[in-house]
Structure 1
Amino acid sequence: MNARIQRVGVVGGGQMGAGIAEICARAGLDTVVCEADATAARAARERVAASLERAVQRGKFDRMTAEDALARLVFTGSLDDLADRQLVIEAAIENTDAKTEIFAALDKIVEDPEAILATNTSSIPVMRLGMATHRADRVLGLHFFNPVPVLPLVEVVPSLHTAPETVTAIEEFAHNALGKTTIQSRDRAGFVVNALLIPYLLSAIRMAESGFATAADVDAGMELGCAHPMGPLKLADLIGLDTVASIAESLYEEFKEPLYAPPPLLQRMVEAGLLGRKTGRGFHTYDRD
């Protein structure tokens, strides 16, 4: 199997992709981030730089450490620049067609036949993405949690085709290089965490939708009554209501359980562009700055 993974590619430089790229660079890895075009690549670099600066301001590490991490990062608008990577982590939009297209392209571009292709999907079947390649034994899910530099968990999700040595290599990489704790999940929509979390969030949305309680009271109830660090509607806003809806739809499509169906209020808010923290308004209102 692979020698120790030193060269990592990340496809997508949004909130999750930027976080994954940051922790890879901080771990001393040669990291290339690929975005849709040069403009998006510049925005991804600014996102990582801002995150590193916040960490310096909070005393997490010194400025030299942040500068060294940023120096290890290359940002590009072309997938071709990932040709020499030993591991590529896809963190693009949560859309099956888009992810399938990316995996098919990576299969042709990444030169090392033993290179691992991983997806950060939170709900799309890993098997579907693996079958878009000729190396399904080297494809698996590697699901990080937001914010990536802070939360210690990674879900490792092998498909029916994923080779055991691929799983071992990725678990060692996550533990030893990134300092993460891993859990394994079967290749089912939602994996472990979202299969438990999303019905809880949807129940809170239905409670607010019905007028049973206000969003503020729902969140206060779970924070103060159950010692949750964040109420369910604040958490949905943090995740992004479009992402919550997308995961719910994937869960409902797979299991056909009514508790997984996205409530009408959630769908309308997504249609209205009220996506939570990233747009400044969801179930709560936020300062965009």
Structure 2
Amino acid sequence: MKIRKIMVIGAGQMGTGIAQVCAQAGYEVILYDISHANLEEGRKRIGKNLARQVSKRRMSEEEKGDILARLEDSSSLGDAAEADMVIEAVVENMNVKREIFSQLDELVQDHAILASNTSSLPITEIAAATDRPENVIGMHFMNPVPVMRLVEIVRGLATSDEVHKKVEEVARTIGKVPVEVNDFPGFVSNRILMPMINEAIYALYEGAATKEAIDDVMKLGMNHPMGPIELADFIGLDTCLSVMEILHEGFGDDKYRPCPLLRKYVKAGWVGKKAGRGFYIYE
């Protein structure tokens, strides 16, 4: 079975990034969202990213046009029937994801692969919402998708060898490096990254240092390109809190307990760069 057409569910930052790299690699792409405004904004984001590549002479105007021509907007989930593969990239909520996968199970062709871009939720549980768990797999991209090379490939309990192999091929085709990880809460990336971010927020909460000092220590002392508090703002504090809660619940270990200051900022709506304010203020 050859993958020719890919549907991406969700036109947010992650979904549009995934749609862009798939279209750049030559796949026909359907970008789905229930919101027409999100689709419009997503299309603009992709166009802006490609225009930047043209300005840097990394691609021609003709190549840009060809990529955009391979990208189709959709507000009908029924269009999934045309896809050989669906990559879900919606909010990090198990009930929402299970509902989407249950609907997709009724819509897609028998051979279609169903992948989730979840950053921390169990693939086995998502797959259980379908009658084809062998065709369900995790495909966790890093943000920003067009730049970051890693994709965590997460097999559920029933994921077939054939589906795993095919998804690794797709990842390589779109210029990513697939790394297989097991189906544990947070997988590997967020199991390590989020507790570090959470501990940095605890250091701020307890008055160990200012946010600027904490970020400088990690950038200058550990050679991190971005400090952990700045990175939390970039990821989204609501996302960080969600992942920490999943880790805390999944492992039952208080070392994953979210910092109260993180909870307070999320409740205030200060969720990071996307909101104009997190631990830092953005213009």
What's the TM-score, normalizing by structure 2? 0.97
Match of 1:143 among 137, 140, 143: 140
Structure 1 gap segments, 5+ residues each: none
1:45-60 aligned at under 5 Å gives the runs 45-60=43-58
For residue 212 of structure 1, what is the aligned residue in structure 2?
A: 208
- Taking only the aligned residue pairs, the percentage that are identical comes to 43
What's the TM-score, normalizing by structure 1? 0.95
For residue 191 of structure 2, what is the aligned residue in structure 1?
A: 195
1:226-245 aligned at under 5 Å gives the runs 226-245=222-241
For residue 168 of structure 2, what is the aligned residue in structure 1?
A: 171
For residue 21 of structure 1, what is the aligned residue in structure 2?
A: 19
Q: Is the 8 A contact 1:37 1:76 kept in 2?
A: no
Per-residue displacement from partner, 1:163-186 (whole Å, max 9, x unpaired)?
1111011111111x2121111111
For residue 74 of structure 1, what is the aligned residue in structure 2?
A: 72
Shift of 1:41: 2.0
Q: Does 1:129 align with 2:135?
A: no
For residue 246 of structure 1, what is the aligned residue in structure 2?
A: 242
| Higher mean displacement: 132-141 or 266-275 | 266-275
Query: Which letter does structure 2 place at the counterpart of 1:12?
Result: G
Match of 2:85 among 80, 87, 102: 87
Q: Does 1:30 align with 2:23?
A: no
Structure 1 residues 282 and 37: CA distance shift in structure 2, 3 A: closer
Shift of 1:226: 1.2
User: Partners in 1 of 2:176 and 2:148 — Cα distance?
Assistant: 8
Matched residues, number:
283
Query: Which letter does structure 2 place at the counterpart of 1:104?
Result: S
Shift of 1:114: 1.4
Per-residue displacement from partner, 1:139-188 (whole Å, max 9, x unpaired)?
0100000000000000000011111111011111111x212111111111
For residue 40 of structure 1, what is the aligned residue in structure 2?
A: 38
Q: Is the 8 A contact 1:40 1:77 kept in 2?
A: no
Query: Which letter does structure 1 place at the counterpart of 2:171?
Result: A
Q: Is the 8 A contact 1:240 1:276 kept in 2?
A: yes
Shift of 1:6: 1.1
Shift of 1:203: 0.4
User: Partners in 2 of 1:255 and 1:62 — Cα distance?
Assistant: 49
Alignment RMSD (CA, Å): 1.1
Structure 1 segments (4+ residues) deviating >6 Å = none
Shift of 1:67: 1.9
Shift of 1:255: 0.4
Q: Is the 8 A contact 1:200 1:232 kept in 2?
A: yes
Structure 2 gap segments, 5+ residues each: none
For residue 99 of structure 2, what is the aligned residue in structure 1?
A: 101
